[in-house]
Amino acid sequence: MINPESFAGRGKVAVLRTRPETVLDDYRRLMLLAEYQATLDPQVDTILKVNLSGATWYPACSTAPWQLEGVIRTLQQDGYSRLMAAHNRVIGMDAYEGEQNHGHKAITGKYEVEDIHLYEPEVEWIRYQPRSEMLVLPRVFPRGIYIPRIFIDRNIIHLPTVKTHVFTTISGAMKNAFGGLLNDRRYRAHSMIHETLVDLLMVQQHIHKGIFAVMDGTLAGDGAGPRAMRWHEKDVILASADQVAIDAIAAKLQGFDPLSLKFIRLAHDRNLGVGDPREIEIVGDVDVLHENWHFVQDDTLVSRGQKMIYHGRLKPLEKFLLRTPLFRGSYLASRAYHDLYWYSAIGSNRVQSALATKWGRLFQEYVVPPAEPGGWNREMLAAIAIGGASALVVGGILARKMAKRT
Q: Is pLDDT above 70 for 305?
A: no
| Residue 365: predicted pLDDT | 95
Predicted model pTM: 0.88
Q: Rounded to the nearest 5°, which phi and psi values hold at 256?
A: -100, 150
Average pLDDT over residues 114-118: 95
CB atoms within 10 A of CB 343: 21
For residues 163 and 308, membership in a common domain is answered with no
State which H helix or E strand residue 36 sits in. none
Distance (Å, whole) CA 396 – CA 86: 43
| Residue 406: predicted pLDDT | 46
pLDDT in tens, 12-55: 999 999 999 999 999 999 999 999 999 999 999 999 999 998 88
CA distances from 219 to 18, 204, 248, 344 (A): 11, 28, 18, 21
Question: Which distant-in-sequence residues (6+ apart) come within 8 Å of 67 by Cβ?
Answer: 27, 159, 161, 214, 216, 218, 237
Q: 153 in a domain, yes or no? A: yes
| Residue 104: predicted pLDDT | 97
State which H helix or E strand residue 114 sits in. strand 114-117
Cα dihedral 157→161→163→167 (10° resolution)? -40
Mean per-residue pLDDT of the chain = 87
Counted residue by residue, the chain has a size of 406
Average pLDDT over residues 355-363: 97
For residues 246 and 367, membership in a common domain is answered with no
Domain count across the chain:
2
| Residue 336: predicted pLDDT | 73
Of 257, 280, 299, which residue sits at a domain end?
299
Q: Is pLDDT above 90 for 83?
A: yes
Q: 32 in a domain, yes or no? A: yes
Average pLDDT over residues 54-68: 95
Distance (Å, whole) CA 174 – CA 247: 7
| Residue 93: predicted pLDDT | 74
Distance (Å, whole) CA 195 – CA 246: 18
Q: Is pLDDT above 90 for 180?
A: no
Q: Kindly report the CATH number assigned to the domain that includes residue 28.
A: 3.40.50
Question: 182 - beta bridge partners?
Answer: none
For residues 273 and 330, membership in a common domain is answered with no
For residues 118 and 257, membership in a common domain is answered with yes
Distance (Å, whole) CA 238 – CA 284: 9
pLDDT in tens, 236-291: 999 999 999 999 999 999 999 999 999 999 999 999 999 999 999 999 999 999 99
Q: 1 in a domain, yes or no? A: no
Question: Which distant-in-sequence residues (6+ apart) come within 8 Å of 47 by Cβ?
Answer: 84, 85, 86, 116, 150, 151, 154, 155, 156, 157
Residues of the domain holding 279: 12-299
pLDDT in tens, 185-242: 666 777 899 999 999 999 999 999 999 999 999 999 999 989 899 999 999 999 999 9
3 state SS of 97: helix
Residue 324's pLDDT band, with cuts at 50, 70 and 90, is: low
Q: Of 27 and 310, which is predicted with more confidence?
A: 27
